[in-house]
């Protein structure tokens, strides 16, 4: 059958593409299924400084573009399709998508993770009208305005630095008084003349005039005090960029595989509790989530998928 693959990789982020490269290069019949577009989370990163061998001014987009070309050169197929149902229980795994149903001897789960929402009043109403989860995509819309970045991790601080290109001022709103981001990013943010901080605070509400966001209500978690931030009379709008962590894209796997806190459990060989099913990248239960660890997971998963297929044939 044409649609039975040696390996099907679910997700075309760094982990999936790396797995696709290794599997394709091992001459395995390999398919990557991607729901939206190649790259996952990383395409929204404005600058990649810590991926070994990155070219000058490397962005998430440029890195992924080169990865995709490399993967395709080894005959790994990439299809855009939306998975409706996945059956990992039999020897041949079945993936039912909107357009097609695919079968595989082995599977690599590289589903990634998505930006977490604040969940406060007004957030949903102003997504795309002032509230954004992607500085590269939307930063330019807020040229000359005040920008608020919510979060204190690597993403928040890295993207706040990027947003100084556009914003009149960039204010990082963090729920504690110490940043989680790496020391190098912290140093750059603390030294940046356009970056300010609001500590110990969370967003209670996003306000706006129906067309664009123009205010925030913050709650100081130590004192309980509420503060309202408003756009100036002349600006009339503010930018709000939310980087408060990620949620794994594993809904489709619920009750089908061992997971912890929504992340798929895998060992150091990327093996899950199901024979022939491997996991790689941000959807794996682990402590470090970087592009470099995702591509490493992908390579290990593909090498072990190949070993699994070899033993299956014996």
Q: Which residues bind to ligand NAP, rule: CB under 6 A?
A: 50, 118, 150-156, 158, 175-176, 180, 202, 243-246, 289-290
First to last CA, the chain: 21
Residue 50 or 101 with smaller CB distance to ligand NAP: 50
DSSP structure class, residue 56: T
Task: Please answer whether residues 31 and 56 qualify as being in contact, where contact means their C-beta atoms are separated by less than 8 angstroms.
Answer: no
CB of 152 to ligand NAP, least distance (A): 3
In 10 A of CB 146, how many CB atoms?
Answer: 20
Residue 50 or 273 with smaller CB distance to ligand NAP: 50
CB of 118 to ligand NAP, least distance (A): 6
Rounded Cα–Cα distance for residues 184 and 162 (Å): 15
To the query of whether residue 120 is one of the catalytic residues in this protein, the response is no
Rounded Cα–Cα distance for residues 284 and 257 (Å): 12
Task: For residue 248, give every residue at least 6 positions away whose Cβ sits within 8 Å of its Cβ, in sequence order, or none.
Answer: 111, 112, 113, 262, 263, 264, 282, 283
* Catalytic residue (choose from 6, 57, 120, 137): 137
DSSP structure class, residue 121: B
Residue 124 or 275 with smaller CB distance to ligand NAP: 124
To the query of whether residue 283 is one of the catalytic residues in this protein, the response is no
CB of 183 to ligand NAP, least distance (A): 12
Rounded Cα–Cα distance for residues 100 and 148 (Å): 43
Residue written as token pair 């390999």 = 30
Residue 86 or 291 with smaller CB distance to ligand NAP: 291
Residue 40 or 130 with smaller CB distance to ligand NAP: 40
Instruction: Name the residue with the smallest CB distance to ligand NAP.
Output: 153
* Catalytic residue (choose from 6, 134, 154, 283): 134
Helix (H, G, I), strand (E, B) or coil at 124: helix
Task: Please answer whether residues 31 and 79 qualify as being in contact, where contact means their C-beta atoms are separated by less than 8 angstroms.
Answer: yes
CB of 138 to ligand NAP, least distance (A): 16
CB of 69 to ligand NAP, least distance (A): 23
Task: Please answer whether residues 82 and 171 qualify as being in contact, where contact means their C-beta atoms are separated by less than 8 angstroms.
Answer: no
To the query of whether residue 258 is one of the catalytic residues in this protein, the response is no
Catalytic residue annotation:
134, 137-138
């Amino acid at each position: 059958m044409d649609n039975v693959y040696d390996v099907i990789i679910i997700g075309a982020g760094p982990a999936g593409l790396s797995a696709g490269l290794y599997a394709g290069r091992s001459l395995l019949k390999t398919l990557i299924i991607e729901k939206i577009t190649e790259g996952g989370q990383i395409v929204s990163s404005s600058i990649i400084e810590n991926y070994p061998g990155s070219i000058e001014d490397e962005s998430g987009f440029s890195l992924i573009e080169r990865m995709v070309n490399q993967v395709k050169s080894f005959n790994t197929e990439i299809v855009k399709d939306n998975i409706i149902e996945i059956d990992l229980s039999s020897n041949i795994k079945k993936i039912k998508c909107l357009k097609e149903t695919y079968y595989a001897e082995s599977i690599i789960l590289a589903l990634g993770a998505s930006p977490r929402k604040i969940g406060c009043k007004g957030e949903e109403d102003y997504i795309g009208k002032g509230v954004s989860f992607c500085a590269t995509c939307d930063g330019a819309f807020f040229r000359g305005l005040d920008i608020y970045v919510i979060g204190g991790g690597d993403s928040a601080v890295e993207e706040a630095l990027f947003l100084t290109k556009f914003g009149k001022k960039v204010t990082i709103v963090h729920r504690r008084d110490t940043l989680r981001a790496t020391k190098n990013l912290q140093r750059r943010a603390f030294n940046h003349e356009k970056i300010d901080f609001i500590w110990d605070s969370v967003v209670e509400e996003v306000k706006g005039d129906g067309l664009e966001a123009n205010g925030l209500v913050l709650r100081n978690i130590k004192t309980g005090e509420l503060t309202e931030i408003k756009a100036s009379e002349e600006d009339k709008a503010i930018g709000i960029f939310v980087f408060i962590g990620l949620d794994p894209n594993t809904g489709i796997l619920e009750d089908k595989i061992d997971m912890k806190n929504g992340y798929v459990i895998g060992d150091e060989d990327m093996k899950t509790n199901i024979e022939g099913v491997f996991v790689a990248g941000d959807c794996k239960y682990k402590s470090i989530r970087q592009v470099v660890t995702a591509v490493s997971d992908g390579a290990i998963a593909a090498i072990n998928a190949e070993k699994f297929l070899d033993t299956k044939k014996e």
